[in-house]
Amino acid sequence: MKSTMKKFSVALAAALFVAACGGAAASPSGPALTGDISIDGSGTVYPIAEAVAEEFQNANSGVQVTVAFSGTGGGFKKFCAGEMDANNASRPIKTSDKPGDDGVAGTADDVLSEATICKNAGIEYIELKVALDALAVVVSKENTFVACLTTDELKSIWDLDSQVETWADVRAEWPAEKIDLYGPGADSGTFDYFTEVINGEAKRSRSDYTASEDDNTLVTGISGSQYALGYFGLAYVTENADKIRAVEIDGGSGCTAPSADAANDGSYAPLGRPLFVYASVAALARPEVAAFFRFFLENTNELSAEVGYIGLNDADLAAAKATLEAALK
């Protein structure tokens, strides 16, 4: 009953809000909104965007919002090609071009950043922070020996040059059993973020692990192996608490469990992170897209919490709304 009432209250708020913002729902002043909105990108941000899309469509039956996940990087490829109205991202868009095989910056051989590719394609965008997440390091419920890992131990396991094969290679008192590793694929923003803050360089990682952009696939693999280890967003741990558990992380100030409070106060460093949605400025000129993103920011804290993420503080939420409104003028 509580869940039903909560959904009803969000749906009612949606109808009232979108009507106030220019007729997203049917109103005497104008027709109901119609159209299609396409979103891709981060599997981490997906549950938030999907929850927002569901509630928005409840109030706007003429609008179809499609939310997919191909990873942050995979989504930016489509977004910068003009194929998507928005991209969910678990890291900021990449802005630095890199020299290509010739080793010389500023030549045709350069590896262009996502921001440069978007610019060259004429894709203008805004960045909206929509929630916070705590990236969880996860083991099976059957694992009874790992309570906490240091960031140095994580690097020893996941680094490109890692020689770690068994748990005993990490700590001598742990079992001499092979570690079954699970993690996101190379197109994932979670992969980029984890490798940067743990291994010191984005995408620097060993490759002999089971990779997937679908966090539910990772949950299934980890839960089925007593000696497995993986990482993904905390929301998927909360959702599958009967199968897996998050270990505490020691980033230099003692072992800390991932939580909303720890992500907000910085004590879960370095694995607390912001989550983003990038919206096309051209797409925002369409009334259904403008209404959708206004609704998104009005409801992101409630819906993010409902699916296991952490809402923004007042200042960050106000900044996101100001960014959106400036783009809509």
Token pair of 42, please? 């981060």
Query: How does DSSP classify residue 132?
Result: E
104-107-111 Cα angle (round to 5): 80
- CATH class name, domain 134-272: alpha beta
pLDDT for 5: 37
Q: Strand order of the sheet with strand 148-150?
A: 148-150, 248-250, 255-256
Place of tokens 């990236």: 135
pLDDT for 296 = 98
pLDDT score recorded for residue 185: 93
Hey, CA dihedral for 326, 130, 213, 93, is it positive or negative? positive
Residue spans of the domains in the chain: they are 2-132+275-328, 134-272
Residues of the chain with pLDDT under 70: 1-31, 100-109
Q: Where are the alpha helices (DSSP H) in the chain?
A: 2-20, 46-59, 72-79, 114-120, 151-158, 189-194, 215-223, 234-239, 260-265, 281-284, 287-306, 314-328
Closest CA to 297 of 7, 13, 107: 13
The whole-angstrom separation of Cα 208 and Cα 183 is: 10
Distance separating alpha carbons of residues 248 and 192, to the nearest angstrom: 21
Residue-wise pLDDT for 267-290, tens only, equals: 998 999 899 999 999 999 999 999
Fold match, 2-132+275-328 / 134-272: yes
Q: Tell me whether strands 210-211 and 148-150 are parallel, antiparallel or unpaired.
A: unpaired
- Identify the pLDDT of residue 108: 57
The domain made up of 2-132+275-328 has a fold known as D-Maltodextrin-Binding Protein; domain 2 (3.40.190)
Question: pTM for the full model?
Answer: 0.75
> In the prediction, which pLDDT does 158 show?
98
